[in-house]
Chains A and B, each alone.
Chain A
């Protein structure tokens, strides 16, 4: 590397917002989209699936086994297989990441629902709650802390996994790694790593805040 500094600050300012798709700001934007949509879709699917698994226990073991297999698939290989189906778009990254999120979120939803003490459920029944109102008014809110813990892990992993998509041309900030590697230039790589981690820390902080707002009874 010689005298080349680790980070050339002027490169960052020049490439921050050039209006082209490879400017840092544009990459950040596409990174956010490709990282958050999978978690959102994953949550939307995980709640009904988790409810089904908590209701019919025999469903749970097979579901978890399938999800474990999904979780062990190497993301780069899945992206390539997806390429054949969805072509070169953001969906190629979003669809596999949705499944990774599901693999984390289904156990979280089931654990959250099963961790509710039986006497709480019985009290709700005794107070005349219908099954639907009991679910919406008692069980789901009480499951929030465990679900949110899963959501935090899913969000942070999703943010970090998006960059692998750069190998097939859709990786948000991951493009900076490929770019830096091909030009033997460390600045974009450092920028990409720092931006990814900052994004994750901010998202994680927002989820912690959401947990405080959603579970007022837990605040001392």
Chain B
């Protein structure tokens, strides 16, 4: 605990481009952009595959294989190939990390909707897209949000490796502390990452309270 107090009470840790606020912002930027990009790919694809049932085998198998991609390896490969001019190199491995959980949960959510509900919607005269957006998406929403939450936690925790190739974010504290054997900084940085991940988790829990229809919640 003393280490944490040392880290957070040191004024030099709070100011300038290497300070806590600046690093926190960088970390948030990597995480949010990566999560948005991943969601933009994975949610439509998951909805489409879950709704039409087309290509579900391919999606599930490749999403599982994609989980195995080692983030550190992808990161150093991308940086060696394109250089570290911008934040793009760190976004690629993070997006690859975030897509599988979002995709699989969206697909499972839509596919798992009670077939009776789906038939009832068609029976009421709704068309394919209407069934998807008015019935399937609201009912599948808890699982879709779960996928986003899992992806967010992993992205926030993993964005720390960006520091290994000289990029910013909270990983800087961890890597710099490791390199200089100043473990106070390392532990402080790790603490901030955990706090951010827990905040993301709380945010998504709150969002699912607000966004999920009360009727759907009661069934669960």
Residues on A facing B (Cβ under 8 Å): 1, 68-69, 71-78, 80-81, 84, 152-153, 156-157, 159-160, 163-164, 166-168, 173-174, 176-177, 180-181, 184, 186, 189-190, 192-193, 196-197, 199-201, 204
Q: Which of B64, B81, B158 contacts A74 (CB 8 A)?
A: B158
Number of A-B pairs whose CB atoms are under 8 Å? 124
**What is the predominant secondary structure among interface residues of chain B facing chain A?**
helix
Interface footprint category on B: 35 or more
Partner of B73, one of A69, A78, A153, A192: A192
Contact partner of A152 (CB less than 8 A), chosen from B64, B153, B160, is B64
* Residues of the B chain whose Cβ atoms lie less than 8 Å from the Cβ of A68: 153, 201
Closest-by-CB residue of A relative to B189 is: A77
Interface pair A180/B76, CB less than 8 Å apart = yes
- Residues in B neighbouring A75, C-beta threshold 8 A: 157
8 Å CB contact of A181 from B80, B156, B178: B80
Pair A199/B68 contact, Cβ less than 8 Å: yes
Minimal beta-carbon separation of A99 from chain B (angstroms): 13
Give, as a whole number of angstroms, the nearest-CB distance from A191 to chain B.
Answer: 10
Contact assessment for B174 and A77 in the assembled complex, using a CB-CB cutoff below 8 Å: yes
Specify which of A75, A157, A164, A186 lies most central, judged by the most chain B CB atoms within 10 Å of its CB.
A164
Asked whether B80 lies within 8 Å of A186 as measured between CB atoms, the reply is yes
Interface set, chain B 180-220, CB cutoff 8 A to A: 183, 186-187, 189-190, 193-194, 197-198, 201
For residue B25, CB closer than 8 A to chain A, the reply is no
Chain A proximity of B94: nearest CB distance (Å): 13
Q: Which residues of B sit under 8 angstroms from A166, Cβ to Cβ?
A: 72
Minimum CB–CB distance for A85 against chain B, Å:
13
Residues in A whose Cβ lies below 8 Å from that of B157: 72-75
Pick from A77, A156, A164 the residue with the most CB of B within 10 Å: A77
Known: A73-B194, A156-B67, A164-B72. A189 touches B187 (CB 8 A): no
Q: Which B53-92 residues have a C-beta within 8 angstroms of A? A: 64-65, 67-74, 76-77, 79-81
> Which residues of A sit under 8 angstroms from B80, Cβ to Cβ?
1, 180-181, 184, 186, 189
